[in-house]
């Protein structure tokens, strides 16, 4: 039978070559060797110790737990190995206006009543002059700001059942942990620098990569995890890159670790500065810091001075400058190359989505994995899905900049006044009218996430949804107060994060004792 022209037939996808290690490469290798070892398939990862990795992606969001669970990684062992801590959300400082603080917690705000979203009831109560800060109605945010932690309770009646969490960890240690796992499962690691990719003259497919010294590594499917360069997806296939820097103009970051000065807080902090923002990520053994900024509005030297002035603890390494361009490849899967991680695109570190995009790309590839032929229909479906999640995340990140009242620097005036994608403009207008937010398709960020940022940055709707008026005001107010008090009392009874890590056997033994953790504001 003659193969259709739009389908390239191969004997079987038995040779998978992963180009590049780091977080993306070893996540892919660990998952691939676990679930796609059919007895014939050979999985090879090529990396060079001489080529560094970006390796600053130390904060995650809750779906990472699903990935680790899929690989049967014991959580306490993983935390010890990566010097990890728990993360209950992100605190934003100086984003709406200077002096503002709010937290974007994992999980929900309160509990819906009779099918009416909790935030609509909170908006009505606020309009009446009552109600506390909306963060007081989130178990995750209340515990985070007290420096407390507990794993979710299986008892749905307990407020602890409403705790959602992710992790902070050392990205290089995570990659090393996954490497050990992948190699135990049969992944073959090849050391060497790739100097050329060879393509089939008829199909355009990559047939092999050539290392220094002339060694060829052949493959049927190639996974490009080579970082910003995109060694295969861009250098070899010239796929093209869609630039989003007009919406997300930050284009560089200075990363610098410091020693801990207190017990690690269970949340990330993002503090806005004159032309960007600074992250603080507390690990067991150190604190990760970085200043993300726009080179068009701030010189590198000034950005470094700001970073040094605002870090806590003593620097334990010199600042490292990382340059990037926000956007994504025009195709994440082109010919027989699938790009993952920084090779596929980069939005920026805000909201800690980089590792999730790797995870999502792996899961999507698994669901569309080719057998004996690569179908353009399935390849297009992969690209459609990846574009959808990239654009969803892009809009949510843009919101943080657009929804500012700051006018103290040229940078903040630019992002405040810029045009935004129509998809985001529509969401913002729906919110402005009646505080309505709708989760579309398989969006990563749920309604409470949008609510947290919009309220946290002073975006108040003109009126709450009138459906809230169908419930009795006094009964709703009483129920809300009971929720708030239950969250407060429950959080006070939880151990500090460090106490929990030590009690669970998740604290690495070589760390010195820390000070007792309290509220980390």
Active site residues: 87
Please state, in angstroms and rounded to a whole number, the distance separating the CA atoms of residues 505 and 283.
16
Place of tokens 């994440």: 332
* Residue 376 · residue 7 · CB < 8 Å: yes
Q: What is the 3-state secondary structure (H, E, C) of 283-346?
A: CCCCEEEEEEECCCCCCHHHHHHHHHHHCCCCECCCCEEEECCCEEECCCEECCEEECHHHCEE
Residue 336: name the closest of 373, 307, 291, 311 by CA.
373
What does the block give as tokens for 27?
A: 């996540």
* Residue 23 · residue 171 · CB < 8 Å: yes
Residues in the chain: 521
Please state, in angstroms and rounded to a whole number, the distance separating the CA atoms of residues 390 and 441.
13
Please state, in angstroms and rounded to a whole number, the distance separating the CA atoms of residues 303 and 292.
9
Question: Residue 248 in 3-state DSSP?
Answer: coil
Alpha-helix residue ranges (DSSP H) falling in 435-472: 447-456
What does the block give as tokens for 58?
A: 């130390």
User: Cα angle vertex 416, ends 410, 419, to 5°?
Assistant: 115
- Evaluated on CA atoms 24, 362, 254, 315, the torsion sign reads negative
What does the block give as tokens for 50?
A: 């001489």
What does the block give as tokens for 244?
A: 């989003």
What does the block give as tokens for 34?
A: 């676990």
* Residue 253 · residue 368 · CB < 8 Å: no
101 membership: H or E segment, kind and range? strand 101-105
């Amino acid at each position: 039978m003659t193969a259709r022209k739009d389908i390239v037939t191969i004997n079987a996808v038995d040779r998978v070559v992963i180009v590049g290690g780091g977080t993306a490469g070893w996540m892919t290798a660990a998952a691939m060797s676990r679930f796609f070892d059919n007895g014939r398939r050979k999985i090879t990862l090529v990396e060079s110790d001489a080529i560094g990795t970006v390796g600053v992606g130390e904060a995650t969001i809750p779906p990472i737990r699903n990935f680790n669970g899929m690989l049967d990684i014991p959580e306490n062992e993983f935390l010890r190995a990566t010097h990890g801590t728990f993360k209950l959300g992100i605190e934003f400082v100086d984003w709406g206006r200077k002096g503002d603080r709010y937290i974007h917690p994992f999980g929900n705000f309160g509990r819906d009543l009779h099918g009416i979203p909790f935030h609509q009831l909170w908006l009505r109560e606020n309009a009446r002059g009552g109600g506390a800060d909306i963060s007081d109605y989130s178990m995750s945010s209340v515990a985070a700001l007290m420096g407390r932690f507990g794993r979710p309770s299986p008892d749905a009646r307990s407020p602890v059942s409403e705790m959602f969490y992710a992790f902070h960890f050392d990205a290089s240690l995570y990659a090393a942990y996954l490497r050990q796992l992948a190699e135990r499962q049969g992944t073959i690691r090849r050391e060497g620098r790739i100097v050329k990719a060879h393509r089939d003259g008829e199909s355009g497919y990559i047939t092999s990569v050539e290392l220094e010294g002339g060694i060829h590594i052949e493959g049927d499917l190639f996974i490009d995890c080579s970082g910003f360069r995109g060694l295969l997806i861009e250098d070899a296939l010239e796929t093209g890159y869609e630039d989003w820097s007009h919406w997300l103009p930050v284009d560089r970051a200075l990363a610098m670790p410091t020693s801990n000065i207190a017990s690690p807080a269970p949340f990330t902090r993002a503090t806005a500065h004159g032309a960007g923002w600074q992250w603080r990520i507390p690990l067991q053994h150190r604190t990760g810091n970085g200043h993300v900024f726009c080179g068009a509005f701030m010189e590198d030297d000034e950005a470094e001075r700001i970073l040094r002035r605002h870090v806590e603890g003593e620097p334990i390494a010199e600042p490292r400058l990382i340059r990037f361009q926000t956007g994504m490849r025009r195709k994440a899967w082109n010919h027989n190359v699938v790009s993952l991680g920084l090779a596929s695109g980069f939005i920026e570190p805000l909201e800690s989505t980089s590792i999730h995009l790797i995870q999502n790309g792996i899961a999507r590839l698994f669901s569309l994995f080719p057998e004996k032929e690569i179908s353009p229909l399935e390849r297009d479906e992969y690209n459609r899905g990846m574009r959808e999640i990239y654009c969803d995340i892009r809009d949510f990140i843009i919101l943080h900049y657009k929804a500012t009242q700051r006018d103290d620097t040229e940078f903040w005036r630019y992002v405040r006044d810029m045009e935004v994608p129509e998809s985001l403009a529509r969401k913002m207008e729906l919110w402005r009218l009646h505080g309505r937010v709708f989760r579309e398709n398989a969006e990563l960020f749920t309604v409470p996430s949008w609510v947290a940022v919009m309220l946290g940055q002073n975006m108040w709707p003109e009126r709450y949804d009138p459906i809230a008026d169908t419930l009795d005001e006094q009964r709703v107010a009483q129920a809300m107060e009971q929720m708030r008090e239950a969250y407060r009392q429950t959080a006070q009874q939880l151990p500090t994060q460090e106490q929990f890590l030590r009690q669970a056997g998740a604290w690495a033994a070589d760390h010195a004792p820390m000070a007792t953790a309290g509220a980390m504001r």
